[in-house]
A and B are shown apart, each in its own frame.
Chain A
Amino acid sequence: MESKPLGGKIFTKPFKILMVFGIIGVILILKRYFLGLGSVSNLNDGYPWGMWIVYDVVTGTAIACGGYAMAMLIYIFNKGEYHPLIRSALMAGMFGYTLAGVSIYIDTGRWWNLQNIFLPGTANPNSIMFEVAVCVALYVAVMWIEFSPAFFEGKEQHKGKLKLLNKVMFFFIALGILLPTLHQSSLGSLMIIAGQKVSPLWQTNWLPLLYLITAITMGYAIVVFESLFSSIGLKRPLETSMLSKLAGVIPKLLIVYFVFRFGDLIYRGALGHIFDIDLKSFMFILENLLYIYPVVILFSAAKRKNPKYLFLSAVSMLLAGVLYRFNTYLVGFNPGNGYVYFPSFSEIMITVGIIAIEIMAYLVFVKTLPVLPQVKHAQ
């Protein structure tokens, strides 16, 4: 199946609205560089990581796991029939990860020293952060390589390059499956050293596995979500049959997740904290209800075929994963000593600006490059 540029006007009304948010974000980012992190954020010594790390990096890359999750299905489990979905998933992933990389430059106080993470004299392989940084940086590069044929396709003068790329592509695809497996789990491991600061409802040695499974299910959910959303938004035919089959993978993985999640809570004797009747216990329950919804809905073959339920369960799955990450890193995180944190308006607007830029880039790319599968008119 061929992919095709969508064509059409770029500066549409929604695009211009996105631009406004993008510009506000950029202005606030400039302020941060001149006046310090505290001038735009509520970050503090007790809560050194806030909205940016938890949303833009930890959650954003999990949402960007569509390309990874699809590649695993297509190339490792050899389900070639899903191939039409991969390129747009890959591209969304590429933006998600690239912008996570950009966010790192906003969040780190001494960003001009970031290369020290990779230099032999200063790198610290014992640090989970080292592993995350290396894998994420490599994966961003790998995704741009994986996506690069889109720039060359259909152009006579680039035929040679394209052929060469396709020859070695299998290696990058393999790397593109390995790297997220490593760093998505490490994004969970990051919090292990925070020890008692993280509530027993979330602190566990199983964090890497739980983060990996949910990143993959979020990957499938975002593919379903994006496909349904762009079908409506960009007026394309629904790909329901393929999507419902794909969505069927989610509940199976989530069952494995639940076994480990609750098995561990029971084993550690931490399950009782559900009844603490505080913000943490409430958020824990909400998080798990959001996980349960897609399991219940997607196990039913009939409901799975209904675009409405398909869409709702994808959204529920995504929200569950988002909440799980916010809960581990912020809601369930209490450094003590009276520290509190809630993102400031500017902090939120910077994240909103980044997301706006991400969507703008997505729109430009699908309209000018062969990303989305060609619509077959002859049906």
Chain B
Amino acid sequence: MNLQRRDFFKVLSAGVITATTSRSAQARPTFKQPPDAVGLLYDATLCIGCKACEVGCKTRNEKPNVHSEIEEYFGVSGVWDDSRDLDSATMNKIKVYKNGTAAVKDREIDGFSFVKRACMHCFDPDCQSACPTSALIKDPVKGYVTYDKDACCGCRYCQVACQYLIPKFEYHKALPELVKCEMCNHILEEGGITGCAEWCPTGATIYGKLDDLMAEARKRLELKPGDRYSFSVHTVDSDEKKSRPVEKYIDHIYGEKEGGGAQYIMLSAVPFQKLGLPEMPETSGASKSETLQHTLYKGLIGPIILLGGMVVATYRSTKKHQTDE
């Protein structure tokens, strides 16, 4: 082994050691709930599938209706919104679960249920971690995840990263934008509430402080199925109530722990995976990805040491080549 090589390995191992030691100190934990978090609670047992929330969402966010071939076939094209799923004009979508005869609502076997899909406003959004231009930012106080089209370069890494398939992209426009639910923050800032919660007539979707929503969700899980309960409509602390019998909930608040936690939480009588929601670990992908990257890079110390070693080695060997010639 010649001199350069030995030196190089010395430097290399120094780099590797800095890069791999004190792993715990560098580990980036999953972010927690923001101090003044607001959110939405969706209770599938209250949802009647009327899609008023979709109308509210499109109205508040000025998104056009989507029309399908089915409409065209029946000659009713352009009459109503017929989006089939979340798409670049639809940030909020009511979907349906059906099984067997689909006779009874809120039953897994031979029953059906609705589910409202939209951005989860994760505590530690994978989309935010992925976005190279900081176009997706979680509000540090209220916690909604917003999009800035003037920053976005359209790389769509956020789409790769988001486990809930929320960010949608305008693939058919020359100057496309990314589209995702931003929790109507433009209306929240003026003291209003989100379009979906405002339009929802049954109280299936309610808006409020996340702590209050979580307390309400926990309370509902404690209720006895069949008893009557007064469900608040539009907001968690609303005076407008609707009384109805309680269904048998699945004992789980979806969004409480998923991916480290989220600000859109859900209750249902049908298992959440059946509704098409992913089973998620309790830590975020963002924390995993950033821990790895920060471990390898150590705030650039690793790469700088490595570069130093390489400069020394190449300097010596280019010198040698020049004198050889």
Contacts and interface: CB of A to CB of B under 8 A. Distances in A.
Interface string B288-325: 11101100110000010011001101111111111010
Nearest to B325: A1
Interface stretch (B100-108, B153-161, B250-258, B261-269): B153-161
Contact count band on B? 35 or more
A193 B130 contact: yes
A113 B174 contact: no
A80 B293 CA distance: 34
Contacts of A49: 156, 160
Interface in B119-175: 126, 129-135, 149-157, 159-161, 163, 165, 167-175
B165 A169 contact: no
Contact of A116 (B4, B133, B289): B133
A37 interface: yes
B169 A80 contact: no
Given A49-B156, A128-B289, A196-B163, A34 B129 contact: no
Contact of A108 (B155, B171, B321): B155
Interface in B170-187: 170-178
A74 B165 CA distance: 46
B292 A189 contact: yes
A192 B292 contact: yes
A44 B156 CA distance: 10
Given A205-B292, A336-B278, A78 B303 contact: no
Counting chain A CB atoms within 10 Å of each CB, the highest count among B155, B278, B307, B313 belongs to: B155
B24 interface: no
A177 interface: yes
B276 interface: yes
Nearest to A43: B171
Contact of B154 (A39, A109, A128, A182): A109
A178 B126 contact: no
A124 B153 contact: no
Counting chain B CB atoms within 10 Å of each CB, the highest count among A49, A83, A178 belongs to: A178
A373 B182 CA distance: 59
A36 interface: yes
B229 interface: no
B152 A174 contact: no
Given A76-B314, A109-B156, A178-B303, 15 more contacts: A36-B176, A76-B8, A78-B2, A108-B154, A113-B150, A121-B134, A124-B129, A130-B132, A169-B318, A178-B306, A193-B161, A194-B161, A194-B285, A195-B281, A205-B288
28 contacts: A38-B171, A45-B86, A45-B171, A48-B159, A75-B314, A75-B318, A76-B4, A76-B313, A78-B316, A78-B320, A80-B324, A109-B156, A109-B169, A111-B153, A117-B132, A117-B153, A122-B133, A126-B129, A127-B130, A127-B131, A128-B293, A129-B132, A129-B155, A171-B311, A189-B292, A193-B126, A194-B285, A197-B160
